[in-house]
Chains A and B, each alone.
Chain A
Amino acid sequence: MKRRTILAGAVAALALSGAAYAQDKTKVGFIFVGPVGDGGWTYEHNQGRLAVEAEFGDKVETIFQESVPEGADAERVITQMALSGADLIFTTSFGYMDPTNAVAAKFPNVKFEHATGYKRADNVSTYSARFYEGRAVQGHIAGKMTKTNKVGYIASFPIPEVIRGINSAYIHAKKVNPDVEFSVVWAYTWFDPAKEADAATALIEQGADVILQHTDSTAPQAAAQKAGNVITFGQASDMSEYAPLPRVSSIIDDWAPYYIARVKAVMDGTWESTDTWDGIGPGMVGIGEISDAVPADVKAEALALKDSLADGSYHPFTGPLKKQDGSDWLAEGETADDGTLAGMNFYVEGITGDIPN
């Protein structure tokens, strides 16, 4: 009898400490598409995770899983993370959209945050950054700097986010250099350094002297450096190790403030399903230092463009703009609404080639 009491007491104590433990710490999970050391996209998300840890210290516990393939595997990994007691899970790639929503339906008490997607639920928020604002600055510099008038663009997957970037960069390159041409290569991967380097090399061999990338690793930078006389832009992260040449500027994703705010909301019980889409103004998109390889006047113009994007006085998609097939899209002075941008599946007039399905 006595032994049983002790056992029961022990169990009760365990349960209590378990409950206390759970209340004490908010467990935050992250699903990454590449390794945290990719030097680009995933690296910046991981910096955001570390910022959450630094901000809340002992009150938070973060877990993460890297190099999770998009698709069926993702659903398994997210489920695992939800089962392990995570309160809030960030899934940080477009391809996790359906898996995230599928898992979220099974775990109504767990909060989910999906990056760059458009499907929401009561416990699923979406968040993204207006990378196309940064692309406008890049396009401007690219148009000014190219000597061959050929700009190579390494695209990943034909999703709205990538297409927006191509369009925005093209519009602003064309504005300052009417002869500019874009060649787009679809790599069909977010992270494969060898393939990214091959794609950059192929574009350079076809005469491109500016390489823009929408893939996650620094491999295109290395390939451009090897080829020489080519400029590139850091993608998602500053990639300053390749400055001042080939990397002349960059788009930096800063997720830390958002992650901290959302974790705080879960702790306070004020978390709600939202849709966040911030750009240069609120600081979610940063423009990395423009290196000295860029002439001073071009740099000044680029910074002015950045400022006008930041204060909202200029929108990258301002009419008159036509679609690739020549049909009208935006009238003079009209700006694109977020709905169209979020689902963008067409090129603007002047870009050659087709968007794969």
Chain B
Amino acid sequence: MVAATPILLAALGELVVEKSGVLNLGVEGMMITGAICGFAIAVETGSPVLGFIAAAIGGALLSLIFGILTQYLLSNQVATGLALTLFGLGLSSLIGQGYVGIRPPAVEKLNLGPLSDIPFFGPVLFNHDLMVYLTLALCVAIWAVLKYSRAGLILRAVGENHDAAHALGYKVIHVRLLAISFGGACAGLGGAYLSLIRVPQWTEGMTAGAGWIALAIVVFASWRPLRVLLGAYLFGGVTVLQLNLQAAGFSIPVEYLSMSPYLITIAVLVIMSAPRKGKKGRASLAAPACLGRAFHASQ
């Protein structure tokens, strides 16, 4: 679960962004910026909670650069997103110069009392830090908001057909900027989870591609929050499981173990997202119709 949380956070954020019709490829950059912002503030203040808040703010601020460039200045989203990744990697290593080799304040595991003593299920389900559970709650909340609330409906309307949403009087740009900054905050939290809990230390380039995995999971999960959850947990779970199997000396060839996280996650999500009989083209409908398209009121 620890391995899955950063990817899940980043993927959830990106899901909301893409649901609003914006394709932000800068997840990696926002994650790493969040990782160093969170780490730096946690070290300076001694409080991991403040660190996580700072990480969310850092990620959101960085994503707003992307937001302003793509929404007001109508720059290309793909190119801007890639540039954001490069910028985030550079910025984070600049900020991180003085933080190499420092130990962050420890994050306590949540004490759930007798629950964590249950054999097998105890350590697996009830022996984690607060962020793991908050992330799970966030996932369910995003699912519920997108599905049942008016705000979710507006978000989806903007993502499916921004002209129609505009005609109805919704402020397309504002909705998108909010979604982008939410995505940035989530990615920042994911990064901070890496630097504060999972590793825990600051190293340049420490996300090492986690942001891209998150992007892929959103697509393979066909833009559904609960499938994103499944995908991230499968990926994270199998990653750790295969390392454990290796350490325990199981006689499965290492090549297969190493590729298993990718294979299993993709296979499961693709099978789940495959169009079924009677419901023609479900998968192809899953992508928000206006994904990656710029909006300007004059068009």
Contacts and interface: CB of A to CB of B under 8 A. Distances in A.
B71 interface: no
Interface string A180-218: 000111111101111101110011011010000000011
Contact of B239 (A36, A186, A198): A198
Interface in B190-233: 194, 198-201, 203-210
Interface string A288-312: 0000000000000000000000000
A37 interface: yes
A122 B6 CA distance: 48
A218 B249 contact: no
A198 B201 CA distance: 13
B253 A39 contact: no
Interface residues of A, number: 45
Contacts of B273: none
B194 to A, nearest CB: 6
Contacts of A185: 243, 246-247
Contacts of B198: 194, 197-198
Contact of A198 (B3, B93, B203, B209): B3
Interface stretch (A8-16, A75-83, A222-230, A267-275): A222-230
A226 B200 contact: yes
Nearest to B245: A202
A202 B249 CA distance: 12
Contacts of B210: 194
Contacts of A134: none
A152 interface: yes
- Interface residue range, chain B: 35 or more
Interface stretch (B96-104, B161-169, B281-289): B96-104
A242 interface: yes
Contact of B100 (A184, A205, A241): A241
Contacts of A193: 194, 199, 201, 203, 206, 208
Contact of B247 (A208, A218, A221, A222): A208
B111 interface: no
A186 B101 contact: no
Given A188-B258, A218-B101, A199 B243 contact: yes
A354 interface: yes
A39 B203 contact: yes
A357 B255 contact: yes
B163 to A, nearest CB: 40
Contacts of B240: 198, 202
Contacts, number: 114
A38 interface: yes
Nearest to B258: A188
Interface string B1-31: 0110010000000000000000000000000
Nearest to B205: A35
A191 B247 CA distance: 19
A353 interface: yes
A34 interface: yes
B167 to A, nearest CB: 45
A217 B239 contact: no
B271 interface: no
Contact of A206 (B2, B201, B244, B254): B244
Nearest to B246: A185
A38 B247 contact: no
A39 B100 contact: yes
Interface of B: 2-3, 6, 93, 96-97, 100-103, 106, 194, 198-201, 203-210, 239-240, 243-244, 246-249, 251, 253-255, 258
10 contacts: A34-B205, A39-B203, A183-B248, A194-B208, A197-B199, A219-B203, A221-B201, A222-B199, A223-B199, A356-B253
When A and B form their complex, which 8 residue pairs have the shortest distance between CB atoms, in order from nearest?
A241-B101, A37-B204, A35-B204, A222-B201, A356-B254, A192-B208, A202-B243, A193-B206
